[in-house]
Amino acid sequence: MLKIKKFFFNPFRECCSMAWDDCGMEGAIIDPGFYTSDERDELFRFIKGNGIKPVCILLTHGHFDHIFGVKESMLEFGIPAYMDPSDKIILQNDPIFTKACKLKTPDTEFETEDLHEGDMIDVGRIKFKVILTPGHTPGGVSFLDEKDKTLFSGDTLFAGSIGRTDNQWGDYDKLIKSVLDKLMGLDGDTRVIPGHGPETTISKEIADNPFLIPFNEPDDGLQDTDGLELDGKDD
């Protein structure tokens, strides 16, 4: 069974998740964004104190607030980090972003294993399905545990919101397409753990998310601006 411990790190309150199999105790560190030594120690103490054996780092995207602690975590546990290669451009520019925010420069000198749509990452008995959800960044990824109905959505989908796309390399159209085509079709009771803020469910976002409501209004049989009826028929 999937077990999860969430940590909120750095000035942006990024959600780092420790996700593990409660049988074999193998785990994945998702978006280790710890910024201070105290934050690092908090995560490492929890892992070691609970006998968890990290086997990989999963990155939903490459923004600095999600990768501050990647290099240290890789070295501490001797594990690989997985990321969509399209976000390497983000890693390369993270020092520029942090300088603009007057934050310390992250160590981005680490290698990543490439992710692809539909890949399955085995973490003990847990299988994380890779869902490419670009838009917030070119290589945004969500990780789905289908058995336990849990989605780690990074900065693609939030409770009541979606990821921002006004940063360099953001693309609103791609983000909306990712959310609608890739995430809204998941089971309604799927638990969603975003990269910031509180968790939610797919059904709650379908019903309440203001960015998605225009796409989920009741079908009243009226005509759209293209002259097609809104009852699912084209004639």
Encode pLDDT of 159-195 as tens digits.
999 999 999 999 999 999 999 999 999 999 999 999 9
Query: Residue 4: exposed, middle, or buried by beta-carbon count in 10 A (0-12, 13-18, 19+)?
Result: middle
What backbone phi and psi angles, to 5 degrees, belong to 118? 85, -5
As a whole number of angstroms, the distance between CA 176 and CA 59 comes to: 20
At 180, list the tokens.
Answer: 């609608």
Q: What is the mean pLDDT of each run of 10 residues along the chain (235 residues)?
A: 97 98 97 98 98 98 98 98 98 96 96 98 98 98 98 98 96 97 97 98 96 66 39 37
- Cβ atoms of 11 and 103 closer than 8 Å: yes
Burial status of residue 17 (CB atoms within 10 A of its CB: 0-12, 13-18, 19 or more): buried
Domain boundaries, the chain: 2-215
pLDDT at 223: 41
- The predicted pLDDT at position 218 comes to 52
Helix ranges restricted to H, the chain: 37-49, 64-67, 70-77, 88-100, 172-178, 202-208
Estimate to the nearest angstrom the gap between the alpha carbon of 129 and the chain centroid: 12
User: Nearest-CA neighbor of 157 among 214, 218, 198?
Assistant: 198
Annotation: CATH topology of 2-215: Metallo-beta-lactamase; Chain A (3.60.15)
